[in-house]
């Protein structure tokens, strides 16, 4: 079967489709015929060797986030799962025609969702919802600053924060992204590459008060700028490090500013709420109160270019690879 296998860590151009054996589910496993696979940031990190935790030993098949229909189960696994549609996150192997997963990794795709929305709604939307509600406990009138506001998490965070009555200031990497992101309702958008002193603009937009919450998936050497424009009792929530690791935080500075720096992984939040958020999220997406920024699916053989574009901040919304399609 066709698959994208990482045989050694390397650049985006090293990604190629190869032929490997069709996997068989073992005890307590299911096999899915893959429909679509999303480009998750962790795919790029794993390919390049930037992360090790949670990544299979080399060689492994890319695809951290995907959808499919269960076509076989291993011993001791409920065979009523066969034929049902699921999205999967956290179980590698989605960049292939068939993938193996544990039943615990399966998230049912709502009947009202098309395959492509069903592939991606789970991770980005839940990440945004939980950062704002489970972790930050945003209130009406709060100011939320969103890095990478033209990406999937940024777009969903913008809409969910606006729905909660917050003021949203989005940061993007080009004027083209400013224009594109306007459709999702941010109160202000800043091209941070053109305006390097974007914290001053945040202060300007807030009458000097600063931000209550800053969501940052980039980190990198510019991360300390977040602390410049935080309001007292404000917090920075880090969800990634696409720009590299951030410098160490000055604890004395946090004390002086009554500020906080936090990290976030959605699975901890989901364990706390036990799925209570799903009905609201599914309803909002189905009614298009929140619009998920899906790009048209592209062939799997374009994966190298897609990784390159993502890592060089050329993309908006979410990239999805068509594998089996609407199976």
pLDDT digits (tens, 9 = 90+) for 217-245: 998 999 999 999 999 999 999 998 888 88
The domain locations on the chain are: 2-109+295-322, 124-270
Complete edge-to-edge strand list for the sheet that includes strand 167-172: 188-191, 167-172, 143-146, 211-216, 230-238, 260-263
What confidence score (pLDDT) does residue 10 get? 96
Name the pTM for this structure. Answer: 0.93
What confidence score (pLDDT) does residue 5 get? 98
DSSP assignment of 18-32 equals EE-PPP---TT-EEE
What are 307's two structure tokens? Answer: 């990784």
3-state helix, strand, coil in the chain (%, to 5): 35, 25, 40
How open is the CA angle 182-186-188, to the nearest 5 degrees? 90
How open is the CA angle 218-222-225, to the nearest 5 degrees? 110
How far is Cα 127 from Cα 151, in angstroms, rounded to an integer? 13
Q: Taking residues 33-50, report their average pLDDT.
A: 95
What confidence score (pLDDT) does residue 18 get? 97
pLDDT tens per residue, range 140-160: 999 999 999 999 999 999 999
Which of 197-201, 237-241, 300-304 has the lowest average pLDDT? 237-241
Cis (ω within 30 of 0) for the bond into 59? Answer: yes
What confidence score (pLDDT) does residue 244 get? 84
Q: What is the pLDDT confidence band of residue 54, given thresholds at 50, 70 and 90?
A: confident
Mean pLDDT of the chain: 96
E strand segments, the chain: 2-6, 17-19, 30-38, 60-61, 65-73, 85-89, 98-101, 106-108, 143-146, 167-172, 188-191, 211-216, 230-238, 260-263, 298-299, 320-322
Which candidate, 131, 162, 130, 107, places its Cα nearest to that of 270?
Answer: 130
CATH fold group of domain 124-270: Rossmann fold (3.40.50)
Q: Does domain 2-109+295-322 have CATH number 3.90.180.10?
A: yes
Q: What is the pLDDT confidence band of residue 53, given thresholds at 50, 70 and 90?
A: confident
Q: What is the pLDDT confidence band of residue 287, given thresholds at 50, 70 and 90?
A: very high
Task: With a cut of 90, say whether residue 33 has pLDDT above it.
Answer: yes
Task: With a cut of 90, say whether residue 316 has pLDDT above it.
Answer: yes
Tell me the longest C-alpha to C-alpha distance in the chain.
63
């Amino acid at each position: 079967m066709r698959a994208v296998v990482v045989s050694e860590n390397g650049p985006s151009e090293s990604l190629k489709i190869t032929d490997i054996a069709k996997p068989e589910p073992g005890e307590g496993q299911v096999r899915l015929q893959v429909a679509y696979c999303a480009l998750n940031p962790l795919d790029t990190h794993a390919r390049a060797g930037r992360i090790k935790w949670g990544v299979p030993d080399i060689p492994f098949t890319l695809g951290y986030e995907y959808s499919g229909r269960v076509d076989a189960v291993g011993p001791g696994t409920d065979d009523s799962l066969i034929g049902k549609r699921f999205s999967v996150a956290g179980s590698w192997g989605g960049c292939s025609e068939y993938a193996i997963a544990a039943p615990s990794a399966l998230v049912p795709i709502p009947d009202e969702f098309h395959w492509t929305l069903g592939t991606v709604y789970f991770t980005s939307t839940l990440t945004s919802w939980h950062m704002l509600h489970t972790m930050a406990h945003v209130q009406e009138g709060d100011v939320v600053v969103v890095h990478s506001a033209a990406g999937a998490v940024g777009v969903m965070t913008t809409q969910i924060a606006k729905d909660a009555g917050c003021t949203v200031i989005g940061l993007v990497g080009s004027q083209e992204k400013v224009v594109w992101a306007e459709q999702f309702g941010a109160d202000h958008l800043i091209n941070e590459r053109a305006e390097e002193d974007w914290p001053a603009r945040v202060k300007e937009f807030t009458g000097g008060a600063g931000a209550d919450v800053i969501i940052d998936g980039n980190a990198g050497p510019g991360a300390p700028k977040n602390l410049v424009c935080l309001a007292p009792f404000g917090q920075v929530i880090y969800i990634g490090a696409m720009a590299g690791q951030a410098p160490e935080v000055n604890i004395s500075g946090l004390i002086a500013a009554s500020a906080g720096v936090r990290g976030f992984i959605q699975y901890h939040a989901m364990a706390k709420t036990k799925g209570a958020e799903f009905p609201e999220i599914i309803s909002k997406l189905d009614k298009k109160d929140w619009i998920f920024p899906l790009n048209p699916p592209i062939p799997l053989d374009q994966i190298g270019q897609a990784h390159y574009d993502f890592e060089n901040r050329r993309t908006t919304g979410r990239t999805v690879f068509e594998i089996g399609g609407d199976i």
